[in-house]
C-alpha cells in the first residue's frame, strides 16, 4: 500500500512499520513500561459516546477556528516529536511543510534535526517551539532567542521530563539509554537498505543544540545527559515567561491546580498531556481531566490536549469537552514515516475529512457548536 491510498491513520502506521527498521518504528510507536497509559489514551476517547442533535441544517460546515488568538484552518497543532530525521530525510522540515500547507501551526522540537532558521525559511506558516529545559539553561535560552529572531510565535515549555520514562522497547533495541545497538538491531537495519541509503545521506543530528555547544562536543551524548533537569520548577517557568515576549504554553499539565497556577503567572495556555504515554505509565489521559480543567480556566487560557488522537472524531470530542484544539503527535509522524511531507499531509487530510463528517453527523455546522451535552461517558 502507498500512503496516498491510506484511508485512516492506522493504515499509515502500517506503512511506517514496513518502511522503518524496528528500532526506529519502536521509538515512534512505543510507550513507557507496560504501555498501559499508551493504550489508555486511546480507550479514554472510545469511552466517550456521541448523543447527536438531529435535523440540524449542516449543509454548510466549517472546520476553521482560532488557536492562541490567530486563525487556523483546523483545530489542530502538529505537535513536537523527536528524531523525525530517522523517519524521513529532513523529517522536521517535511512535516513542517505539511502543516504550513494545511494551514495549521507546527511545533518544532528542541531536539529537531533541522535548524530553527531553516524551518522558518522553508516551511513558513505558524511556527511554535517546544522547549526542553536543559540543565545548562543557556542552551535553552539561546535556542529560544534564535526562534524569536526567526519569527516563531509561541514557546511550548515541556514540564513532564524531570527524568526519562522507562521506554522498554528502546532499551531492547539499544537505542536507549546509551545508544548501543544490539546485534539483532544491526541485522534488522541491514534488512532495510532503502532506509539506510536515504537516512545515511542526511546523518540526522540535534543541530540546534549542536550549534550552541563548543566545537568538538558530542551532541548526542550531551543531549542524552542534559535534556532533562529534575530541578526545573515554577520559578524557572516565571523566568522564561519574563524573557519570552510572545505566546507561551505549558505542556505536561494533568491537574486543575497546576493549570490555575500556569494561568496566574501569565502563561497563555496549557497542553493537557501525559507525553503520549512515554513518561509515567499509569498516568491519566489528558482527555479525562479536560472537563474539570475547562471548568476552572476555560475562557481565561487556551486549553490544548494531546494523547491518543487517531480520528477526526477524537478531535471533535476534545473540542466538545472544552479544548481549543489538539496537539497531534504519532498521527502525523506515522504519515511522515509513510511518505514524507505528502504522508504527513495525507494524515491531516484524513483527520480533516473525519472531523467534517463528525460535525455533520452530530448536528454541528462548525466546531464552535460542539458542546459537552453531545457526549456521554460510558
State how far the Cα of 255 lies from the Cα of 231, in Å rounded to an integer: 20
The residues annotated with a catalytic role in the active site are 275
Pairing state between β 70-72 and 65-67: antiparallel
What are φ and ψ of residue 252, in 5° steps?
110, 15
Q: Do residues 128 and 106 make contact, with C-beta atoms less than 8 angstroms apart?
A: yes
**Helix, strand, or coil (residue 145):** helix
State how far the Cα of 244 lies from the Cα of 248, in Å rounded to an integer: 8
State how far the Cα of 138 lies from the Cα of 243, in Å rounded to an integer: 13
State how far the Cα of 280 lies from the Cα of 135, in Å rounded to an integer: 21
Copy the grid coordinates of residue 149: 529572531
CB atoms within 10 A of CB 356: 17
What would the DSSP string read from start to end of 297-336?
Answer: HBTTBEEEE-SS--SHHHHHHHHHTT-SEEEESHHHHHHH
State how far the Cα of 330 lies from the Cα of 351, in Å rounded to an integer: 13
* Residue 264: closest CA among 234, 305, 295, 233: 234
Amino acid at each position: 500500500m502507498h500512503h496516498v491510498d491510506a484511508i485512516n491513520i492506522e493504515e499509515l502506521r502500517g506503512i511506517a512499520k514496513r518502511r522503518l527498521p524496528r528500532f526506529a518504528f519502536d521509538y515512534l510507536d512505543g510507550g513507557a513500561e507496560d504501555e498501559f497509559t499508551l493504550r489508555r489514551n486511546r480507550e479514554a476517547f472510545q469511552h466517550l459516546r456521541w448523543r447527536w442533535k438531529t435535523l440540524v441544517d449542516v449543509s454548510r460546515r466549517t472546520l476553521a477556528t482560532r488557536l492562541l488568538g490567530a486563525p487556523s484552518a483546523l483545530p489542530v497543532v502538529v505537535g513536537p516529536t523527536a528524531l523525525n530525521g530517522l523517519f524521513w530525510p529532513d523529517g522536521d522540515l517535511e512535516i513542517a511543510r505539511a502543516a504550513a500547507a494545511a494551514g495549521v501551526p507546527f511545533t518544532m522540537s528542541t531536539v529537531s534535526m533541522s535548524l530553527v532558521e531553516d524551518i522558518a525559511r522553508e516551511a513558513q506558516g505558524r511556527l511554535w517551539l517546544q522547549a526542553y529545559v536543559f540543565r545548562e539553561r543557556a542552551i535553552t535560552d539561546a535556542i529560544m532567542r534564535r526562534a524569536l529572531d526567526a519569527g516563531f510565535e509561541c514557546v511550548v515549555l515541556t514540564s513532564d521530563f524531570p527524568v526519562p520514562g522507562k521506554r522498554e522497547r528502546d532499551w531492547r533495541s539499544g537505542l536507549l539509554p546509551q545508544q548501543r545497538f544490539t546485534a539483532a538491531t544491526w541485522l534488522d537495519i541491514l534488512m532495510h537498505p532503502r532506509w539506510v541509503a536515504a537516512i545515511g545521506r542526511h546523518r540526522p543530528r540535534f543541530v540546534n543544540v549542536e550549534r550552541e555547544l563548543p566545537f568538538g562536543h558530542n551532541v548526542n551524548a550531551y543531549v542524552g545527559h542534559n535534556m532533562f533537569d529534575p530541578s526545573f520548577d515554577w520559578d524557572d517557568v516565571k523566568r522564561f515567561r519574563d524573557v519570552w515576549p510572545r505566546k507561551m504554553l505549558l505542556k505536561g499539565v494533568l491537574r486543575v491546580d497546576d493549570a490555575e497556577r500556569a494561568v496566574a503567572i501569565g502563561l497563555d495556555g496549557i497542553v493537557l498531556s501525559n507525553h503520549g504515554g512515554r513518561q509515567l505509565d499509569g498516568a491519566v489521559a489528558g482527555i479525562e481531566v479536560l472537563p474539570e480543567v475547562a471548568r476552572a480556566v476555560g475562557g481565561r487560557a487556551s486549553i490544548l490536549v494531546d494523547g491518543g488522537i487517531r480520528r477526526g472524531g477524537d478531535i471533535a470530542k476534545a473540542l466538545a469537552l472544552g479544548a481549543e484544539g489538539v496537539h497531534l503527535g504519532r498521527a502525523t509522524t506515522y504519515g511522515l514515516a509513510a511518505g514524507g511531507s505528502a504522508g504527513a499531509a495525507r494524515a491531516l487530510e484524513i483527520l480533516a475529512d473525519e472531523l467534517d463528517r463528525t460535525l455533520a453527523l452530530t448536528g454541528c455546522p462548525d466546531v464552535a457548536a460542539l458542546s459537552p451535552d453531545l457526549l456521554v461517558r460510558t
